[in-house]
Amino acid sequence: MVSPSDLKPERAIRALERAGWENLGRLGKHFKLRKAGNPNILSVPFHGGKPLKPGLVRAILKKAGMEWEEFLEYYR
């Protein structure tokens, strides 16, 4: 099982896209994603493939309105 400290940014972005988030592209070293019906724009950092930190993962999922288990279904 994947833990929040093992997430690769590129796979996390793909998982959010599978969950219905639209990738708005890259702005500097961050990818921006939005979803119809959700007022938040998610910003996922992409710094040379470094894994995402657990606190950041929790904050992104909170803004996305997703639980960890739901996110794992999209994270293959």
Local confidence band at 1 (pLDDT 50, 70, 90 cut-offs): low
CB 54 within 8 A of CB 1: no
Q: Which of the pair, 76 or 10, is modelled with greater confidence?
A: 10
Digit-coded pLDDT (tens) for 18-56? 999 999 999 999 999 999 999 999 999 999 879 999 999
Question: pTM for this one?
Answer: 0.91
Enumerate the domain spans of the chain. 4-74
Q: List Cβ neighbours of 29 (8 Å cut-off, separation of 6 or more).
A: 45, 46, 47
Digit-coded pLDDT (tens) for 3-16? 777 899 999 999 99
Instruction: For 4-74, give the CATH class.
Output: alpha beta
State residue 13's pLDDT score: 96
Q: In the sheet that 38-45 helps form, which strands lie side by side, from edge to edge?
A: 22-27, 30-35, 38-45
Does residue 61 surpass a pLDDT of 80? yes
